[in-house]
Amino acid sequence: MQLFIGNQNYSSWSLRAWLIFSQYNLEVEVTKLKLFTKGFYNVLEDITPTAKVPTLVDSNVTVWDSLAILEYVNEQYLQGQAWPNNAAERAKARAIAAEMHSGFFDLRNELPMNIRARRKVELSDGALKDIARIDAIWSEQAEQFPQGWLFGEWSIVDAMYAPVALRFKTYGIELSEDAKAYQQKVLASTSLQQWLEEASKETDIVEEDEAGEAF
């Protein structure tokens, strides 16, 4: 399998897809492309209809969306173990993952993933509402699974929310106690540490993803 990703400092969708390979030690060849450069589009235009990352190529199968990649890998290589076993929990996990995939636009616009930066931003009411909703999800799941991943064992929903843990760190977002504990768990995980280590070697600046004032 070959996984195309963007700059690790900035590409939150790439991180989501990459995490499942790291969490389950699945073999994958990772090709990193510099976001918004000619080289990026030259490589991707022959592979995907959208020319975006992440994109997974597995023999004759191409998957060009983060959640679709997570689902594909889970079905083809993990016998479904990357979703909760229990049907009711699985339905809830899918709903929470979908909230991230199709929402939180204010948060995503105003707090772009930028791992190396420490920034102050003026948040809109919409972004504050997004943050409160994420805090509520993390806290509610922590009540059911104290100290655990969102559904106890690591699952796709944890991949979907991992970039938010990094965004909250970059922009110094205050969280409730349980939500903070989950954020710390994500940040300390072996997979995320590996991503951070690789991201820390990058020096390119992607202006589109720079926001806020340094502090």
Interacting residue ranges for ligand GSH, rule: CB under 6 A: 6, 11-14, 35, 52-54, 65-67
In this structure, what is the dihedral angle of CA atoms 164, 21, 200, 158, given to the nearest 10 degrees?
A: 20
- Residue 85 CB, nearest distance to ligand GSH (Å)? 25
CA distance 27 to 14: 16
CA distance 51 to 74: 23
- Residue 123 CB, nearest distance to ligand GSH (Å)? 21
Nearer CB in complex with ligand GSH: 53/142:
53
Nearer CB in complex with ligand GSH: 54/212:
54
- Residue 109 CB, nearest distance to ligand GSH (Å)? 12
In angstroms and rounded to an integer, the radius of gyration of the C-alpha atoms of the chain is 17
Nearer CB in complex with ligand GSH: 11/23:
11
Residue 176 phi/psi, 5-degree rounding, is -70, 170
Name the nearest CA neighbour of 30 among 60, 59, 8.
8
- Residue 93 CB, nearest distance to ligand GSH (Å)? 17
Contact 67, 97 (CB under 8 A): yes
Nearer CB in complex with ligand GSH: 54/84:
54
Nearer CB in complex with ligand GSH: 53/117:
53
In this structure, what is the dihedral angle of CA atoms 137, 84, 11, 41, given to the nearest 10 degrees?
A: -140
Which residues make beta-bridge pairs with 62?
57
- Residue 177 CB, nearest distance to ligand GSH (Å)? 31
Measured N-to-C along each axis, helices 125-144 and 177-188 cross at an angle, to the nearest 10 degrees, of 80
